[in-house]
Each structure stands twice: as C-alpha cells, then as structure tokens.
Structure 1
C-alpha cells in the first residue's frame, strides 16, 4: 500500500459538515479530490480551511495531464514533499506535524517511518544493482540520496 493511501484529511467531520457532502477521509481518494477541489465544495469551506485546500491544490494538483487530478502526479509530488522534509532532518513525528500545519493532513508516524525505511531500502537496492551493472554514476547518486534520508 502506497504512503499516499495512508494520508488523511485532518478535521474530516468538520469539512463534511461544511460541505454538506460525505467524502472519504483519504486525502488522495478520487472522491475526495473531486469534492474538495472542484467548484461548489471548495466555496463552502471557511476561509482558513479554503486557504489550506488551495495551498494543497497549488502544490500538488498543478499538472497538465488530461486526467488531472486522477493522473498520479499529485501522489508523486507528495512523496517528493515527504522525502524533502526528511532530507531537512525531520523525523516521522515532525513530518506529520508539518503536513498538518501546511495542508491540514495527517498520517500515523509509524506509517511515515515505514515509508522512509522502504525508501532507504529501495535506494540501497538501486545502488547495488547499478554497481553490478557498471552504472557507477547512478550508484553514487543513489548512495547520496540514501545518505540524505538517513542522516
């Protein structure tokens, strides 16, 4: 299961009552993206919530794909966001706090830790395979990226 399947809307019930429409808690669910980011749903939110939702849309949903927001670009950008927070030295608890402050989202710190651990293991595998195949520049890049995540 992808980390983006484990990212949830903070104050979900409050948003449901503001919009007067039920939608999933999962931030990257198709129904959630449709309801929150298209027209009437967004207009019904209070100003503070609307600002956070618009920040999320601007940072993650801005792509030129015809299938936007269901193209996968948002999930890819969000994964990059999580990795960048880790590269800044934040641990799982702090990452959860930042995403809550930035976008009114939450995740369980254990899920974030598991995602980060899997990312490190994947980079280790890339590094090993690149070395075996003689792609030493790719191996060095994977090693550098892994080092940014484990410090």
Structure 2
C-alpha cells in the first residue's frame, strides 16, 4: 500500500458538514480529489483557515496541467516528494506528521511515515548494491548519499 493511501484529512467530518457533502477520510481518494480539484464555490463554505489550507494543498499537489488531472499520479508523487523534503530537513516521523497537519490539514500515523522512510532506505540499499555489482561507481555513490540523507 502506498504512503499516500495512508494520508488522511484532518477533521474530515467537520469538512463534510461545512461542505454539505460526504468526503472520504483519505486525502488522495477520488471523491476527495474531485472536491479539491473542482471545488469552486463549495470551498467558499469553509472557514477561512480551512479554505486556505485546502487551497494550498490543491495548488501544491494538484497543479500539473495533465488531461487526467488529478488522477494522473502527479499529486501522489508530489506529496511523496514533500515528505522526503521534510525528512531531508532533518525532521523525524513525528515532526513530519505535525508539519503536514499544520501545512495542509492532513495527517498520517507516525508508524506509517516511519515505515515509508524505512522502505525508502531499504530500496536505496538495494540500488547501492546493484550499482556496485554492475560497476557503476557514480550510481553507487548517489544511492549511498541519498540513503545517508534519508537515514538521518
């Protein structure tokens, strides 16, 4: 299961009530993406702080210009990049959860973030070893450096 399947909308019941429609708890579920991508006038029903965060989320992760947007995979890839950037800034999984809640009113369980980061480290270790076996020193060094940065 992808990490974006484990990202949830904070206070989704309150949002559903304000929007007068049911929205899924998952931030990257189809109905949630529809509301964010095509929100229009319905977002005016949200309180100002919530509206700002929802619009920031839509702008930062769904603005790709693809014909299939927001179902093109770019929102999920951008969000994964955001998580990796937070880790690169030295934040631990708990702090990452706090920051994404503050930035976008979404949350995940700390253990899910830790598992995502651990999977990334394991993948980079495999890349490093494959590059070593293949004799590609440049790729091995890049994988090692990225792994070290992700490991903290």
| Cα deviation 1:75-131 (Å, max 9, x = unaligned) | 001111111111111111100000000000000000000000000000111111112
> Alpha-carbon deviations, 1:5-54, whole Å to 9, x = none?
00000011110000010011100011101023312332221111110011
Q: Please say if residues 128 and 139 of structure 2, whose CA atoms lie closer than 8 Å, have aligned partners that are also in contact.
A: yes
Aligned to 2:22: 22
In the alignment, structure 1 residue 58 sits paired with structure 2 residue 59: yes
TM-score, scaled relative to structure 2? 0.96
2:92 aligns with 91
> 2:128 maps to what in 1?
127
TM-score by length of 1: 0.96
Q: Is the 8 A contact 2:53 2:104 kept in 1?
A: yes
Q: Output the CA distance in 1 between the equivalents of 2:7 and 2:65.
A: 24
Assess if the C-alpha contact under 8 Å between 2:97 and 2:108 holds in 1. Answer: yes
Aligned residues: 151
- 4+ aligned runs moved over 3 Å, structure 1: none
Structure 1 stretches of 5 or more lacking a match? none
Equivalences for 1:1-151 in 2 at 5 Å?
1-38=1-38, 39-151=40-152
3-state SS of paired residue (1:96) = helix
